[in-house]
């Protein structure tokens, strides 16, 4: 022990003598070096000598050394040898554990990678921290094809986003970022996804580590630069992206979002919730860069206050994004003539959601099911549209009874404030008597009709209406569909001209009509790398 830590002038001669343990133990491999024998002898002290003996031996070495410098050197040598042994032991333990796991784990590496690619990003990180073998499999780019970093509390920063995108490489296809309050709603649900103080989550059930991220720590906040990896390296990562979902990233602005969208020409699915960005600028960027897009979901962070959308922007996005089959614009101040441009313009549109839109009166529904555009709708959601008129809803349902909208499967006209009357939208109707709900379900029993008016009305299932004399509304589960189709594209001036609607903002419309061109029947080709 003294010789190992404190070399003496006779060390070299002692090293030349054959190791005594080698002679006493002929079972040791012949390839053992003198260092191997010395290490074996040193490790055997752990069993043969109590810890007190080692302490006393080391103290004697220090006492035999006259100077403080030499004593400090001995202590440093002991620390160094201990660190080297600890590092070697940890490495060997990991190697043995990995070997054991590779034998005990039933799946080969390629199937393990396939399984890991089906995990969400957080579960993948947990698996990667389990052992060396899982860590190696979890580093495969296929595991990062669909990156989901949405959380209930802020605990993801820009560095995490950049690292995962780099790991994905050419397999990168989907990115989800931000804070989703509570359980994620199913597609088509009208539950708001905007994260505000009013609907913030209860953190009483979270652990202390999760709560700490809510205390304004800068390292756990996504900023406007979180999407820069999409446009970096000449937009290599963005060019591969098919799906981009962003939720409640407070520091995101118009410029940063538009730069990111400009790097995503192959984008098929865009979902934006609670970002402080304008509808007009976002749609302009989508129109200019994302020509293959099939689904657009945009929920405003300030319900009823974003009036930025212009009619020319509607025309441009219709002409430049002909493959759009699902459109959701929730919480914006949309006028009927703008909505009509969109619904009539997108020839493949099958899913439309304008929930909580402030200025929609329903006049865009007139003649919507005849001619080109709008007749392929399968899902239409007009929930909590404050200015939606009872008479326009009645006309729409009458058109359904007459045979229009043959593909319509789901209709939601529920309104917690009731429907607006024809003469004065301040006068609300909570139990509309002129809406032919019963007749619609008699003619089209396959339609899922939802009409809930909570303030003064009550909920009565439409199936029970046939057994009562009460004119009521429907409460049925959501049925969703979003596919693609083809059709012609034309809008006449007579179909896009409407009388002024008091209080809705539609009186601002002065144009006589819009004609939208650009015929194309090409299907979307998915990007293959």
Q: Which two tokens stand for residue 516?
A: 């939208």
* Distance, CA of 240 to CA of 256 (rounded, Å): 19
> What pLDDT, on a 0 to 100 scale, did the predictor assign at position 147?
93
Amino acid 388: pLDDT: 92
Tally Cβ neighbours within 10 Å of residue 74: 17
Which DSSP state fits 247?
E
Residue 18 exposed, middle or buried by CB count within 10 Å (0-12, 13-18, 19+): exposed
> In this predicted structure, what is the pLDDT of residue 378?
94
Burial call 467-503: b when 16+ CB within 10 Å, e when fewer: eeeeebbbebebebebebeebebbbeeebbebeebee
Ramachandran class of 209: left when φ > 0, alpha when ψ lies in -120 to 50, beta otherwise: alpha
Angstrom distance (rounded) from CA 128 to CA 136: 8
Question: CB neighbours (10 Å) of residue 459?
Answer: 13
Helix, strand, or coil (residue 381): strand
Q: Report the pLDDT value the prediction gives residue 507, as an integer from 0 to 100.
A: 45
In three-state secondary structure terms, 386 is coil
Q: Do residues 230 and 264 lie in contact, with contact meaning Cβ atoms separated by under 8 Å?
A: yes
User: How far is 307 from 401, CA to CA, in rounded Å?
Assistant: 34
Kind and range of the H or E element at 103?
Answer: helix 68-104
Contact 482, 349 (CB under 8 A): no
Task: Please choose, from the candidates 208, 218, 216, 209, the residue with its C-alpha nearest in 3D space to the C-alpha of residue 159.
Answer: 218
For residue 406, the tally of other CB atoms under 10 A from its CB is: 11
pLDDT of residue 190: 53
Residue pLDDT tens, the chain, 529 long: 444 444 444 444 444 444 444 445 555 566 677 777 777 777 777 666 676 677 788 788 888 888 888 888 888 888 888 888 888 888 887 777 767 666 777 788 889 899 999 998 889 988 888 888 888 899 999 999 999 999 888 888 999 999 999 999 999 999 999 998 765 444 445 555 555 433 444 444 444 344 444 444 445 689 899 999 998 888 889 999 999 999 999 889 999 999 999 999 999 999 999 999 999 999 999 999 999 999 999 998 877 678 889 999 999 999 999 999 999 999 999 999 999 999 999 999 999 999 998 889 999 998 887 666 788 899 999 999 989 999 999 999 999 999 889 999 999 999 888 888 887 767 887 777 778 888 999 999 999 999 888 755 444 344 433 343 333 333 333 333 333 333 333 333 333 333 333 455 554 443 434 333 333 333 223 222 2
Quote the pLDDT of residue 371.
65
Specify the pLDDT at position 443. 93
> Residues with Cβ < 8 Å from 441, sequence gap 6 or more?
447, 449, 462, 474
pLDDT given for residue 90 in this prediction = 84
Report the distance separating Cα 221 and Cα 154, nearest Å: 6
Which class for 141: exposed (0-12), middle (13-18), buried (19 or more C-beta within 10 A)? middle
- Residue-level pLDDT at 232: 84
C-alpha of 52 from chain center:
59
């Amino acid at each position: 022990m003294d010789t190992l830590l404190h070399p003496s002038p006779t060390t070299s001669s002692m090293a030349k003598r054959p190791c005594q343990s080698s002679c006493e133990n002929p079972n040791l491999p012949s390839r053992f070096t003198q260092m191997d024998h010395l290490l074996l002898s040193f490790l055997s002290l752990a069993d043969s000598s109590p810890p007190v003996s080692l302490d006393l031996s080391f103290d004697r070495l220090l006492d035999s050394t006259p100077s403080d410098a030499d004593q400090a050197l001995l202590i440093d040598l002991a620390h160094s040898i201990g660190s080297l042994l600890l590092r070697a032991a940890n490495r060997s333990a990991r190697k043995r554990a990995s070997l054991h796991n590779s034998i005990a784990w039933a799946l080969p590496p390629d199937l393990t990678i396939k399984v890991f690619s089906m995990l969400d990003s957080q579960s993948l990180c947990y698996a990667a921290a389990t052992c060396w073998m899982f860590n190696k499999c979890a580093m495969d780019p296929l595991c990062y094809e669909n990156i989901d970093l949405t959380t209930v509390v802020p605990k993801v920063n820009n560095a995490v986003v950049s690292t995962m995108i780099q790991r994905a490489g050419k397999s990168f296809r989907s990115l989800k970022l931000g804070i989703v309050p509570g359980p994620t709603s199913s597609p088509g649900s009208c539950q708001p996804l905007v994260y505000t103080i009013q609907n913030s989550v209860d953190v009483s059930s979270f652990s202390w580590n999760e709560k700490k991220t809510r205390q304004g720590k800068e390292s756990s906040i996504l900023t406007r630069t979180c999407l820069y990896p999409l446009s970096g390296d000449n937009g290599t990562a963005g060019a591969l992206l098919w799906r981009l979902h962003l939720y409640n990233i407070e520091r995101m602005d118009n410029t940063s979002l538009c730069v990111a969208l400009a790097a995503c020409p192959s984008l098929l699915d865009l979902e934006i919730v609670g970002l402080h960005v304008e509808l007009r600028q976002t749609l302009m960027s989508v129109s200019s860069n994302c020509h293959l897009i099939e689904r657009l979901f945009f929920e405003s962070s300030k319900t009823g206050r974003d009036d930025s959308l212009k009619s020319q922007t509607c025309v441009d996005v219709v002409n430049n994004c002909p493959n759009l089959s699902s459109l959701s614009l929730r919480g914006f101040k949309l006028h009927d003539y703008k909505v009509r441009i969109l619904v009539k313009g997108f020839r493949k549109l099958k899913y439309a959601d304008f929930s909580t839109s402030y200025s929609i009166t329903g006049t865009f529904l007139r003649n919507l099911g005849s001619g080109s555009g709008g007749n392929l709708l399968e899902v239409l959601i007009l929930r909590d549209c404050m200015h939606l008129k009872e008479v326009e809803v009645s006309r729409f349902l009458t058109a359904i009874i007459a045979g229009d909208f043959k593909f319509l499967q789901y209709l939601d006209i529920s309104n917690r404030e009731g429907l607006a009357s024809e003469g004065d939208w301040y006068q609300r109707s909570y139990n509309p008597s002129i809406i032919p709900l019963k007749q619609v379900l008699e003619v089209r029993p396959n339609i899922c009709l939802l009409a809930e008016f909570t303030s003064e009305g009550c909920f009565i299932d439409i199936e029970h209406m046939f057994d009562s004399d009460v004119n009521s509304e429907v409460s049925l589960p959501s049925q969703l569909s979003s596919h693609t189709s083809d059709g012609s594209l034309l809008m006449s001036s007579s179909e896009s001209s409407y009388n002024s609607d008091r209080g809705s903002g539609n009186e601002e419309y002065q144009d006589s009509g819009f004609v939208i061109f650009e015929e194309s029947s090409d299907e979307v080709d998915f990007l293959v790398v």
